[in-house]
Amino acid sequence: MVDVSAAGLLQRRSLVPALLADRGDLLVIAGLGAPAWDITAAGDHLLSFPMWGAMGGAALMGLGLALAQPDRRVLVLTGDGEMLMGMGALATIAVQAPKNLAIVVLDNERYGETGGQVTHTGLGVDLVGIAGASGFTNLCRVTQPAEVPALRDAIHTALGPFFASVKIDPANEPLALPPRDGVYLTTRFRGALLGDAAHLE
Amino acid sequence: MESEDWPDQLFALLQAHRVRQVVVVPDAGHARLIRRVAASNDMRLIPLTTEEEGIAVLGGAWLGGQRGVVLMQSSGVGNCINMLSLAATCRIPVPMLITMRGDFGEFNPWQVPMGQATPTVLEAMGCTTGRADTPEDVAPVADAMLRLAFNTYRATACLIGQRVLGAKTFGK
């Protein structure tokens, strides 16, 4: 069961392991900051690509990956600040309509890495609404623990492009840092997905 | 092959280099190449809202085992600056075919600052550049930049000079 804070909000460090439970051959891109730490705390994985920069690019990396691997499921797990920086991505992805791509925004309504400044989602901007207006037809809003198992299943089975926002508690959790060498992260992911032939490309 | 066939020569190069994802913010100079890509069964045309999106898309494509190329005009280079960190840090092949504005005989003053800064900005982000100022040079320079990107895992740019394209004059 996913934990809830005193404020009644989902706690990210029990939410993310629930979303990644029995991940199978799921391919995971995590946006920079806390989502990258969250997937690491849940257990680093060869088929996870935690980003340390390129803010605004996570969902689009998911697009390129989903188009290249149409038979695999791709999850982009990112924060509200990271998603807000690249909102045009929602239009670009909706136009391409990859059936195997799920984007899940962990929305704490804060820039958590820089002092907790409020983001636009804390001031009324609705990312799910923007995704819907962009052409995503499969949308989900999660605020309660009971809704999490269905979201976990949707990541694996929903007809994409799928977009979900999960409102989470803004507390900063202990750092759980993944490897930060981009060449290592890229090479291990390609090797795990494509085999040794990837290194002879 | 006639020298004005350089867009078709670029299309043949994309085929030869096994490019599968073509990310685009349009420029008039690339119109013919974009039409060829759109009609291709082997390549996916991915229109963008801003050029930096394309760098990230190509990063994901590379993780998934596909090659891509960026088509844009020089004004889009400034939009890409921070996202080029992805190519530099992760050593991802990101070849860019860039049509120049603010260059040879430009009419529009608003195009000039970014056009003039384009090579400097690309080089500042670790991107290797080559330049073609005659139609005959476009395909050889593009081929060299595609090879450099895919064989040595980096961002490269082929700058196609406005002298090749002709400056837009707005009837003046």
Q: How far is A175 from chain B (nearest CA, A)?
A: 22
Q: How far is A145 from chain B (nearest CA, A)?
A: 31
pTM over 0.95? The answer is yes
Interchain CB contact of A91 with B (< 8 Å): yes
Q: How confident is the model at residue A124 (pLDDT cuts 50, 70, 90)?
A: very high
CB B12 within 8 A of CB B33: no
- Cross-chain residue pair A64–B48, CB shorter than 8 Å: no
- Cross-chain residue pair B60–A61, CB shorter than 8 Å: yes
How high is the pLDDT of residue B171? 78
List, for residues A145-182, the tens digit of each pLDDT value: 999 999 999 999 999 999 999 999 999 999 999 999 99
**Residue in B52, B64, B150 closest to A64 by CB:** B64
Q: How confident is the model at residue B2 (pLDDT cuts 50, 70, 90)?
A: low
Interchain CB contact of A63 with B (< 8 Å): yes
**Residue in A64, A185, A193 closest to B57 by CB:** A64
Report the alpha-carbon distance of residue B136 to residue B119 in Å, rounded: 21
A65: nearest CA in chain B? B60
- Which chain B residues have a beta carbon less than 8 Å from that of A56? 52, 56, 83
**Does residue B1 surpass a pLDDT of 60?**
no
Cβ neighbours of A201 (radius 10 Å): 14
How high is the pLDDT of residue B3? 62
List, for residues B94-129, the tens digit of each pLDDT value: 999 999 999 999 999 999 999 999 999 999 999 999
List, for residues A61-90, the tens digit of each pLDDT value: 999 999 999 999 999 999 999 999 999 999
The closest of A134, A133, A111, A136 to A122, measured between CA atoms, is A111
Q: How confident is the model at residue B155 (pLDDT cuts 50, 70, 90)?
A: very high
